[in-house]
Amino acid sequence: MKPLSKTIENLKPSGIRKFFDLASTMDNVISFGVGEPDFDTPWHICENAVYSMSEGKTHYTANRGLLELRKLIAEFHRIRYDQHYNPENEILVTVGGSEAIDLAMRAMINPGDEVITMDPNYVAYTPAIEMAGGIPVIIPLEEKSEFKLTPEALKNAITDKTKAILINFPSNPTGGVMTYEDYEKLVPIIEESGIYVVSDEIYAELTFDGEFASLAQFPSIRDQIVVINGFSKAFAMTGWRLGYVMSNPNLSAAMTKIHQYIIMSAPTPAQYAALEAMTDGLSDVSHMRNEYMNRRNLLVSRLNRMGLKTNMPHGTFYVFPNISQTGLTSEEFCNRLVEEQRVACVPGTAFGEKGEGFMRMSYACSMDNIIEGCDRIEAFLASLEQKQEENPSNRS
Ligand code: PMP
C-alpha cells in the first residue's frame, strides 16, 4: 500500500484521549476531565432549531452563514466587547471554533512560515499549524506570571519568518486571562512586526472577574487580528458544532473560499438555534457563569488547603493545580490517582512540556462530584505521604 501523508503520520495523538481511554475502562470514576459544559443546551434554543426544521429550513444557507445570524453576532460583539466587524464581509460562520482555527491557519500559512503558540496550550493548535505546513514556535508560559503572555517573550519569539501568533485567553488549560493593560503592552510589538494574531476567544463569556479584554479592541492593529469564537462553551452547545471567525475582509474572503469548498455552509438547524441563543440566551449564560464561579471557588480553596498550589483562574471552567511537590510526574500522578482513587484528571503534559508538574481539572461537573473528588484526592495525597514515611528513599 502507498504511504499516507507524512504530516499526518507525524502528528502526535492527543494526550487527553489516551488518558480517557484508560479511565473509561473503570467504574465509579469521578471525572474532572471533560472539556465541555455539563449543562444541556437551554431548551428554548433547541426549540428554535426544531421549529426551523418544521418550517422547512433544512437547506444550505449562504456560505458565510445566515446574514441575520451574522448581524446578531456583529451586534453582540459591538455591545459586549467593543469589537467591530461588518456582518457582510468580515464574519464567517463555521463548524465550531475548531474549523475556524483550521481556516485561519490554512488561509495565511505558506510552507515554512512560523506560527507562534504557547506551552501549555489547547491541544489542537500545534497540529493545526503543522497540517497547514507551518512551523510551530513555542513560547513557554510561567506559573509565576499567571500563565500570561509577556511582551518580552513575544518579542523574543518573533523572527522574519513569523506569520502569526495563535493565542487563547481565557486559556484552556490554565484558566489564565489577559487584561486590557496586559494586552496594551503587546500592541506596539504586534504593530511593528506586522504579524497576524489569531485570538481564540471561545471562553470569553466565561470570564469571571472584571471585563473580558481582546486585542481586537485596539484600532491600530485591528486588521491584524483574527477573532475566533463560538457557541459551544458559552451556551452549552458543543454538539451543535457552531462557531465563527471575524477578521479583515481580505482574510475573511480567503477563509470563506476554503470553507465554501470543504463545508459549503455550517449546519442550518444549528444556525437557527444560534439565532435564538444570541437573541434570548444571555440570561442562561449568566446563570451558568455564576454556577461555574461557585464551583471554581470551592475547588480552588479545597486544592490549596490540601497543599496543591493552585492559581485562582479568572476564566474558563478549568483549574491547573501544581502537583510537583509530590515528586511524581504529571502522568504518574494522574495514572495513580485514577487507579487508586478513581479520580480522572488530565496530566499537564497533554498540553505541552511546560505542563509537567501540573494537572488540568475541569469543574464542568456537579458540586457533589467536586466535593467527593476532592475527598478522594486528599486521601490519595495522604497515602502518598504515608508511603514516603515508610520508605523515605522513595522521595525524589
Ligand atoms: N478552542 C479552545 C481553547 C477549546 O477549548 C475548544 C474546545 N475544547 C475549541 C477551541 C473548539 O471548540 P468548538 O469547535 O466546539 O467550538
- Position 24 scores a pLDDT of 80
Q: For the domain 6-41+283-386, what is the CATH superfamily, name and number?
A: Aspartate Aminotransferase, domain 1 (3.90.1150.10)
Instruction: Record the cell numbers describing residue 197, joined without a space.
Output: 494574531
Q: What is the pTM of this model?
A: 0.95
> Alpha-carbon distance 4 to 18, whole Å?
22
CA pair distance 370, 296, nearest whole angstrom: 9
Distance, CA 193 to ligand 1 centroid (Å)? 28
Q: Cα–Cα distance between 348 and 320 in angstroms, integer?
A: 8
pLDDT number for residue 395:
47
Question: Ligand 1, residues 172, 206, 229, 263: which to mutate, most atoms within 8 A of Cβ?
Answer: 172
Give the number of the atom of ligand 1 that is nearest the alpha carbon of residue 95.
Answer: 14
So what's the pLDDT on residue 17?
A: 73
Around ligand 1, the residues with Cβ closer than 6 Å are: 35, 96-98, 122, 168, 172, 200, 202, 230, 232, 238, 243
pLDDT at 394: 53
The preferred substitution site among 125, 232, 237, 360 for testing ligand 1, maximizing ligand atoms within 8 Å of CB, is 232
The ranges assigned to domains in the chain are: 6-41+283-386, 43-281
Domain 43-281 architecture:
3-Layer(aba) Sandwich (3.40)
Beta-ladder partners of 278? none
Residue 20, pLDDT score = 76
> Model confidence over 115-149: pLDDT tens digits?
999 999 999 999 999 999 999 999 999 998 899 99
All residue ranges of the chain with pLDDT < 70 are 392-396
Strand partners, 360: 346
